[in-house]
Chains A and B, each alone.
Chain A
Amino acid sequence: MSLNPDPDTADRLLDAHAAAEVKGRSLWQDARTRFMRNRAAVAGLVALIAVCIFAFFGGFLAQYEPDYVDFALIGSNATQGVPSLETGHYFGTDSSGRDLYARTVQGTRISLLVGIVGAAVAVVVGTLYGAIAGYAGGRTDGAMMRTVDILMSVPYMFVLILMLVIFGRSILMLFIGIGLISWLDMSRIARGQTLTIKGKEFVEAAHATGVRPLTIILRHIVPNLLGLVIVYATLLVPQMIITESFISFLGLGIQEPNTSLGALISNGASNMQYGVIWQLAFPLFFFVVTLFAFFFVGDGLRDALDPKDR
């Protein structure tokens, strides 16, 4: 209900007395309306949902297990492993004669997981760390943020590769490695925004009333940070996927029989001169669609949550 004093609204306002309580329109709801008006963002969201459905339920349509090797096809990929509906290899087969459709579903799922886990760690750890540093201020702030500076100055790709080499290649190790680096930027952003919010009168009002510092952070600061954090997180997911793909491309990431989009693209790229271009095309298509969808959604969220900042 708008606050325009047209007679219609006035009538409804009177009716509202009889009705129990008026439901307010929160800033989140406002943002959702703005987001829905952004066509590119909505298209991105639809594409993203489609990719997620593909990644998590596409396996039911597959005719083969992702690790089933069809020895008959090895060596004759270019002629026999062609994508076709009849053979059940919708996306064709890879160089070892495995069903590429099942492999792509699996790869998309793992890439999405890596991206989402990395972003989730960034959101939880980074936001809390930054908010605490910003709210505490003074020496605590200095010490916490200098720690972040030091961690940032370490060449993370080098450390990640070393970790994967020393502790062995596993998905868990990859998650740990990516989680370790992803929250640094986020904590800086959250801390900067906290400094702005901290000066607002509603935080002072809470402090004057006797609300505990941790409650102030969780109840007053973090909800007001979330707009920015969500935008940054949606842009962080593709960044994480790219990082993982790069590591997989180097051959250090996901270990067989698991796979990821990066690993599949790497495989496809090394075989493309043998007339099996589909081995590169299908994983690359899902990779690009996912990244673009995330970027569009992130952009739309930024516009929706920050209407003044356009």
Chain B
Amino acid sequence: MTDPKDDKFTEATGRDEIADPAPAAPPASGTPVATPPSPEPAGIAHKDAPVASEADNGGRPDRTGKLARPILRVEDLRVAFDIRPRGAWPWTPSKKLHAVGGISFDLAPGESLGVVGESGSGKSTLARAIVGTIASTGGRVMFEGEDLAAMSERQRRAHRRDVQMVFQDPLAALNPRMTVGDIIAEPLVTHEPKTPRKEVRRRVAELMERVGLLPNLVNRYPHEFSGGQCQRIGIARALILKPKLLICDEPVSALDVSVQAQVVNLLKELQRDMGLAMIFIAHDLSVVKHVSDRIVVMYLGRVMEVARSKALVTNPEHPYTQALIASVPIPDPVLERQRQRPVLGGELPSPMSPPSGCVFRTRCPKARPDCAEGLPPMLDLGNGHRVACPYHKEPSVLDAARRMAG
């Protein structure tokens, strides 16, 4: 191993530990809602600049919302959990909790799709239903044109190599009794059991370098790493088989803000280099916007709005999206204090008994009596922008906020 290379790795792994004391100076940005999650370390921001411009200008197959051949097609996906009331008789029928209630979208190869929504909106359940660790109760998940639910157990298992997942809690996602090398190698050993040990070690080392970990740490155990490093291990494990689709379930929520930026940029970089399709789930709109080509906004298991990320952030149509965007903090204390927030009243309704009609109507500032009548249709506004609200043209709740922000 050569010296300059080594220095680079030291920097990469050392970063997580020294990141904390970095001052959180607000970036001098004029657009309040579109700020990146944190000031990025200089080296990363520099590396990242070409990525951002490429993502904006094209290079992705779908700029128009029309997909040539989606790698993943989700059709009317539903997931319901059986809930047994406490102390019920064995013959009492269990109640249904509708975590995901009919979601459809397409994902093109190499595309990155963001999913946002507050806690309990069914984001993680959606991810798990696609990965197949939770059984769906309706609809279809088509991966490269094949229905995953219709497959035999064996075919399904073979298919799992193409869809990998990165988890929310970096440490809990790693087996504490296994070494990092074994953890990263597990998917490879599972799907290609005949790979020689030497080859496995080589690929693990290669990937550890790629995600910014020192390859000589293979024999360490997860508890010896920081949160950011653990997440890098999780990412390395997800990528060792060169999957086609990567599902990130709130990969940065458990991390320190400055480490978040590193991990998000790493994911972006890897996605570009490996041509991965990615589903990126988060409740932080600013992070999702930074990563995604398109964004899906979910509320109580339903899609409220789908649009390209720029269009969604600058021109949200659905009242819920507008409220979400208005709640993104502005990293400027003066502006932040002056801003009038269209605060959403109330709580997320129970998914055991969702409101009739539009699920958002109980908290919607524009709600009318007929919102309770039936499910609002998905209106296509062109350019891939779809919104589930017939009254989206009404004066925006965001107007006030936008005026304040200039």
Contacts and interface: CB of A to CB of B under 8 A. Distances in A.
Interface of A: 3, 5, 13-14, 16-17, 19-27, 200-202, 204-212, 215, 219-220, 223-224
B161 interface: yes
B173 interface: yes
Interface string B320-340: 000000000000000000000
Interface stretch (B60-68, B73-81, B210-218, B297-305): B210-218
Interface string B339-362: 000000000000000000000000
A148 B186 CA distance: 34
Contact of A21 (B159, B219, B234): B219
A204 B167 contact: yes
Looking at chain A's contact residues, the main secondary structure is: helix
Report, nearest first, the 10 A-B pairs whose CB atoms are least far apart. A24-B220, A210-B160, A223-B177, A201-B173, A210-B157, A202-B175, A201-B172, A209-B187, A21-B216, A24-B221
B132 A208 contact: yes
A24 B224 contact: yes
B177 A25 contact: no
Contacts of B18: 5
Contacts of B132: 208
A307 to B, nearest CB: 12
9 contacts: A5-B17, A14-B6, A17-B216, A21-B218, A22-B220, A24-B179, A24-B217, A202-B173, A211-B190
Interface residues of B, number: 47
B164 interface: yes
B131 interface: yes
B186 A209 contact: yes
Contact of A3 (B133, B191, B224): B224
Given A27-B176, A206-B186, A209-B164, 7 more contacts: A17-B6, A22-B216, A24-B220, A206-B175, A209-B160, A212-B157, A224-B175
Contacts of B219: 21-24
Given A19-B216, A205-B237, A210-B157, A25 B224 contact: yes
B133 A220 contact: no
Nearest to B5: A17
Given A5-B17, A204-B133, A209 B190 contact: yes
Contacts of B295: none
Contacts of A19: 216
Interface centre among A19, A215, A219 (most CB of B within 10 A): A219
Interface of B: 1, 6, 9-10, 17-18, 128, 131-133, 156-161, 163-165, 167-169, 172-180, 186-187, 190-191, 214, 216-221, 223-224, 226, 234, 237
Contacts of B164: 208-209
A244 B275 CA distance: 66
A103 to B, nearest CB: 44
A27 B223 contact: yes
Contacts of A212: 157
Contacts of A206: 175, 186
Contacts of A27: 176-177, 221, 223
Contacts of A215: 190
B10 A20 contact: no
Given A24-B180, A26-B177, A17 B1 contact: yes
A205 to B, nearest CB: 5
A68 B180 CA distance: 60
Contacts of A22: 216-217, 219-220
A79 B292 CA distance: 95
B237 A25 contact: no
A13 B169 CA distance: 27
A210 B180 contact: no
Nearest to B169: A201
Contact of A205 (B157, B163, B173): B173
Contacts of B175: 202, 206, 219-220, 223-224
A52 to B, nearest CB: 28
A8 B221 CA distance: 21
A24 B187 CA distance: 22
Nearest to A212: B157
Given A209-B186, A211-B190, A202 B174 contact: yes
B376 to A, nearest CB: 34
Nearest to A206: B186
Contacts of A208: 131-133, 160, 163-165
Given A208-B131, A210-B190, A26 B221 contact: yes
Given A24-B221, A24-B224, A27-B223, A210 B158 contact: yes
Nearest to A197: B175
Interface centre among B9, B177, B179 (most CB of A within 10 A): B177
A31 to B, nearest CB: 11
Contact of B176 (A5, A21, A219, A224): A224
A48 B140 CA distance: 61
Contacts of B159: 210
Contacts of A5: 17-18
Nearest to A226: B177
A200 B158 CA distance: 23
A205 B216 contact: no
Contacts of B156: 210
Interface centre among B164, B219, B234 (most CB of A within 10 A): B219
Nearest to B162: A210
Contacts of B214: 16-17
